[in-house]
A = this chain, B = another copy of it.
């Protein structure tokens, strides 16, 4: 991975002042490169990573330089295209998919995007109709474009759920930065804001990796949407004092029965929302729904390095040797979900 300085890649296409989360560019030597925002450095630094190898894409996903279920799906598809280009067509694509699939276990969009890309490469190889790398790159571009379109469609549908001047609590980052553009849960908030509904957002900081404080805050600030940061522990108090009208979050995998795996802390918000009779919404593209997973009990929850809990940035916050547990996701039962917003419309229980 090489670094490029801030300022590169500012998105003029969408006109929203947000640089692309990820983008396929052609460098001076004529080589295709996956360029993505290094989200580990936000909000302090806006820096881009250029991934030229499968290993670089895998590292970027594993180390959270790119994160968010839809964004890692698209990044992985580009990784397969790099594998097909550099390692002999179909065999390279298959090897790339093996490497990329192992990076993170919970988000199903990763597996979905890899399978979609590989299927196309295999079909092309079987009919000898086209070069594997070209086919894979075409599928990756389509996944990226479809993602933005799906997010805009989710926004258009979801806006019906957002009352005028709603005070909305969100967790983690399910925005532009979690997707190829526009966002899922934040996309719905953006659509409400674009429709003049004047939403305001409570941004959960989202320990341990602080995607809320670092990414959602940055994104909403750039968009000009009113937002206030809170520590995760404050959500219950805000609901009890009548300051939250609804909760909306993204998802990393939705089981066939509607159970939702999402960033750790989501489940507690759903329980709190139910206790206070506040709607709890999930916004996710249908690529996040996994028919092969019957219920949430079948979802593998990633456990990450305990250092993410015992350290904060570079600083130790716990005494040396303190054991810590770092579950990255939790599962919210379908019974606690008021509605799921997809690109095809709003689905209400029973799912």
Q: Which residues of A contact B (CB under 8 A)?
A: 43-44, 205-208, 210, 213-214, 217-218, 221, 227-238, 240, 263-265, 267-268, 271-272, 275, 301, 306, 309-310, 312-313, 315-319, 321-327, 330-331
Contact = CB atoms under 8 A, between A and B. Distances in A.
Contacts of A43: 316, 318-319
A105 to B, nearest CB: 16
Contact of A309 (B230, B319, B323, B324): B230
A208 B229 CA distance: 12
A170 to B, nearest CB: 14
Given A237-B330, A313-B312, A318 B231 contact: no
A319 B327 CA distance: 26
B265 A229 contact: no
A235 B271 CA distance: 12
A229 B327 contact: no
Contacts of A213: 309-310, 317-318, 322
A336 to B, nearest CB: 9
Contact of A319 (B217, B230, B267): B217
A20 B131 CA distance: 73
Contacts of A265: 231-234, 236
B310 A231 contact: no
B319 A231 contact: no
A229 B324 contact: yes
How many identical subunits does the complex contain? 2
B315 A315 contact: yes
Contacts of A317: 205, 210, 213-214, 313
Contacts of A325: 228-230, 234, 238
Contact of A324 (B230, B236, B267, B275): B230
Given A221-B319, A232-B233, 20 more contacts: A205-B318, A207-B231, A207-B232, A213-B317, A221-B321, A221-B322, A227-B323, A228-B324, A228-B325, A231-B264, A231-B326, A233-B264, A233-B265, A234-B264, A235-B268, A240-B331, A271-B271, A275-B275, A313-B315, A315-B315
Closest 3 CB pairs between A and B? A233-B265, A236-B268, A237-B330
Contacts of A263: 233
